[in-house]
């Protein structure tokens, strides 16, 4: 995408011959130095490197690292609907409620008459607000010329700018999916649905890191968690995901006991959940956002829930989109990246249950 943008820019400037020698003027500004040193400069903030005939440019950039967006895909933990309702301000959902009474009211028997019972259903509507996001990248003619000359070479700072902006979007969507955006009302995440959407919080079942528990404690814990979940949703659903702090998850790699060196605590807990729920595909997931040091809850949060779009959902009406370059004066260029997203909505809050504790992991 970045290469096409630069090529488009070069086409825009092809009629302006006064700029043809701009790059050579800049890059040879120190050509008189001993050893034929030249100045390589293609960043507005003064990025400079003197290059001599003894210098080899490595075709690699050591990039700044972030919390890995690829290994924590929000869509693995929250149903995300992409591309529906672009530019709309909100999404509308209907909740269905049955008002049919007891099954026995429909039984026709001798001595009870032939009058039939009534079945009814009603609907309630809820809305989920969509939010727009946009950021602009600016380039000068100098940067564009230098990037064009260096296409496929060692350093292309314009391409890195584009990549950084796309990463900004990806990490923002990731954070939103898990913990929302604290500074904006109506943008809740998977782990922050208790304050506004009625998800219950249990503070008694998990009182310390699971990785610090014995096999007996883990087995009893799983039974207790599933029991609490079933009661919370009035025995209408089973959970299929247990999301826990990453630090606790990593600690589960230790063995259950010295007498069972081939079974880790994670495997032991996985089997316990599969047995309790009757679901061999039950998933134990991890996220740093569950840790109290990486959220605004002040608690380590564990989430037991049904990962179904009947239970919860997030929308991305417009996925990350970047416009073409544009210029008003032939020297300054800009492109805009934009998108549209929502927070997470709990359509069946009773099918999500949080467990909190504040002990350091």
CB atoms within 10 A of CB 219: 18
Query: Element (H or E) spanning 356, and its range?
Result: strand 352-357
Mean pLDDT of 218-237: 96
Mean pLDDT over the full length of the chain: 79
Question: Using one digit for the tens of pLDDT, what is the confidence trace for 144-195?
Answer: 777 777 665 445 667 788 888 999 999 999 999 999 999 999 999 999 998 7
Confidence band of 31 (pLDDT split at 50, 70, 90)? very low
Looking at residue 173, its pLDDT comes to: 95
61-361: CATH number: 3.30.2400.10
Please count the helices (runs of H) and the strands (runs of E) in the chain: 8, 17
CA distances from 253 to 268, 273, 281 (A): 10, 17, 19
pTM (2 decimals)? 0.77
> What is the separation of C-alpha 166 from the centre of its chain, rounded to a whole number of angstroms?
13
Question: Using one digit for the tens of pLDDT, what is the confidence trace for 47-85?
Answer: 445 545 554 444 444 555 555 555 789 999 999 999 999
Residue spans of alpha helices (H) in the chain = 2-12, 22-27, 141-149, 157-179, 194-197, 215-232, 246-251, 265-277
The residue ranking higher by pLDDT, 264 or 160, is 264
Q: Is residue 269's pLDDT more than 70?
A: yes
Joined tokens for residue 348: 């069946």
Contact 269, 252 (CB under 8 A): yes
Q: Is residue 13's pLDDT more than 70?
A: no
Question: Using one digit for the tens of pLDDT, what is the confidence trace for 108-124?
Answer: 666 655 666 565 555 67
């Amino acid at each position: 995408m970045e290469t096409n943008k630069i090529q488009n820019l070069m086409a825009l400037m092809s009629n302006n011959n006064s700029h043809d020698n701009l790059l050579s003027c800049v890059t040879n500004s120190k050509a008189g130095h001993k050893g034929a040193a030249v100045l390589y400069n293609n960043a507005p903030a003064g990025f400079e490197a003197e290059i001599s005939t003894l210098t080899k440019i490595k075709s690699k950039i050591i990039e700044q690292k972030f919390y890995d967006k690829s290994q924590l895909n929000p869509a693995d933990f929250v149903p995300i609907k992409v591309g529906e309702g672009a530019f709309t301000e909100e999404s509308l959902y209907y909740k269905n409620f049955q008002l049919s009474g007891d099954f026995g009211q429909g039984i026709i028997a001798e001595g009870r008459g032939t009058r039939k019972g009534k079945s009814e259903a009603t609907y309630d509507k809820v809305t989920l607000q969509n939010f727009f996001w946009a950021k602009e990248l600016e380039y000068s003619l100098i940067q564009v010329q230098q990037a064009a000359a260096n296409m496929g070479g060692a350093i292309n700072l314009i391409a890195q700018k584009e990549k950084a902006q796309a990463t900004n979007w990806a990490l923002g969507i990731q954070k939103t999916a898990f913990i929302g955006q604290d500074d904006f009302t109506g943008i809740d995440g998977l782990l922050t649905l208790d304050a506004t959407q009625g998800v219950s919080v249990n503070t008694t079942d998990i009182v310390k890191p699971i990785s610090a528990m014995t096999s007996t404690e883990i087995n009893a814990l799983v039974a207790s968690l599933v029991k609490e979940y079933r009661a919370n949703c009035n025995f209408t659903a089973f959970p299929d995901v247990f999301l826990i702090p990453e630090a606790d998850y990593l600690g589960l790699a230790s063995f259950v006991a010295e007498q069972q060196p081939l079974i880790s605590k994670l495997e032991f807990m996985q089997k316990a959940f599969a047995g309790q729920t009757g679901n061999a595909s039950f998933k134990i997931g991890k996220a740093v956002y569950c840790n109290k040091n990486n959220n605004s809850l002040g608690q380590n949060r564990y989430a037991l829930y049904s990962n179904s779009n009947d239970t919860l959902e997030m929308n991305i009406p417009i996925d990350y989109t970047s416009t073409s370059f544009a210029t008003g004066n032939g020297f300054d260029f800009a492109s805009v990246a934009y998108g549209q997203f929502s927070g997470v909505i709990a359509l069946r809050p009773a099918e999500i249950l949080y467990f909190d504790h504040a002990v350091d992991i």
